[in-house]
Structure formats: structure tokens, C-alpha cells
Structure 1
């Protein structure tokens, strides 16, 4: 009986969680309540930081590296990051189903491309 219960529990759990997509991020970022606005900015800043740290781990960020998607100015404001990502999603609706972190990377890459020697 325990075996049947365990098997039924396993089958009731989804095989994989749904990914948080660029569309989902854009919906969150379009909301005007303070919690949603903060969550949007926090997601984008966190994703950008994670991408930066991954790049640093594979070779540094002293200039355009293999896999480096963006070079942010030191004084960039969270709203500027949010605007860049939302603009990219709006301009590329065919990619809005991509993972949200991928959309952050692509959006920031479009707005803040690395230049040789950056």
C-alpha cells in the first residue's frame, strides 16, 4: 500500500516547473504597484549580477570576452536597466518566450554593448 501511495505522489508532481519567460517578466514590469515594480527591478538587477559573475568566473569582464553580453556603466540606475530589457522584449516579440534571464542578457547587450578595451 505504501508503494502505491508513493507512486501516486510521484505522478502527481509535475515533471518540470514552468520557466519564467520574457513575457512573464514584462507582465510583472508593467504592473504599477510598488511590490511589482520592486520585484521587476530586483529580478533584472539580480539576473544581470548573476550573468556578470558567471562571465567573471569563465574569464573576466575587463573587456569583451567570449560569452560577455553587456558592459554596464558603474552608475547605471535600476530603471534604466528595466527600460532596456522591456524595450528589447517589445522589439523582439518572437523571443519573448525565452527564459527571462536570457531576455535580460539580450536586452542589456543591446542597450550596453561592450566596446573593445572596455
Structure 2
């Protein structure tokens, strides 16, 4: 009986996990406790890394490429990423229902656009 409960629990966990929306991410980021702010920043950094790595896998990230949403400067600080994403979500309420990683990509693209090759 214990095995059945353990197996049922293991199968149910992935079904109950859901990605954050833009509004949920913003709510997390507006909290003032250290754990929430750290989680917010880590989530944004992780999503940015994921998008960067996906772009790298499909054609590279050196210079602007088709589908490249943002180009982060080497000196960017984590709080700059967090602030850029929060600002974008607040200024563009239509993205509040989007998946958080989409809102992150759009927000970072607005704050850190890639320069064209001729720039």
C-alpha cells in the first residue's frame, strides 16, 4: 500500500507544477523579504540563461541574430535585470498573463536591445 501511495505521489507532482505568469512573477518580485527577492532574481537570471542557451543552440549569440531577444552587457547586475522585467510588466499589462519567461524575454529585449551589425 505504501508503494502505491509513493508512486501516486510521484506521478502527481509533475502534474501539479505550473509555470509562473508575468503577474505572478511581478507579485513575487514586489515582496520585500530576502527569500522572495532572491527567488525573483534567480528566476529571471535562469530564464535569461535559458533563452540565451536556446538561441546559442539554434544559431549563435555573437551579435544580433534572428530570434535574439536581448543582448546583455557583461557588466549587467542581477537587480538591473529584475528592475527591467518588473518595469516592462507594469508598463505592458497585456503581458501579465503571459508565461513569465516570455515576459522576461520581452522585458530584457526592451531594456537591453541588440545593436545591429552596422551600429
TM-score by length of 1: 0.84
**Matched residue, 2:101:** 101
**Matched residue, 1:62:** 62
Give per-residue Cα distances to partners, 1:40-86, cap 9 Å, x unaligned: 00000000001000000000011111110000000100000000000
**Matched residue, 1:4:** none
Within 5 A, what are the aligned runs for 1:1-118?
17-117=17-117
Task: Show structure 2 runs of 5+ residues with no match.
Answer: 1-7
Take 2:75 and 2:93, find their aligned partners in 1: how far apart are those partners?
29
- Kindly state the Cα deviation for residue 18 of structure 1 after the two structures are TM-superposed: 3.8
Larger radius of gyration: 1
Task: Specify which structure has the higher proportion of helix.
Answer: 2
Alignment RMSD (CA, Å): 2.2
The count of corresponding residues between Structure 1 and Structure 2 is 112
- Structure 1 runs (4+) greater than 4 angstroms displaced: none
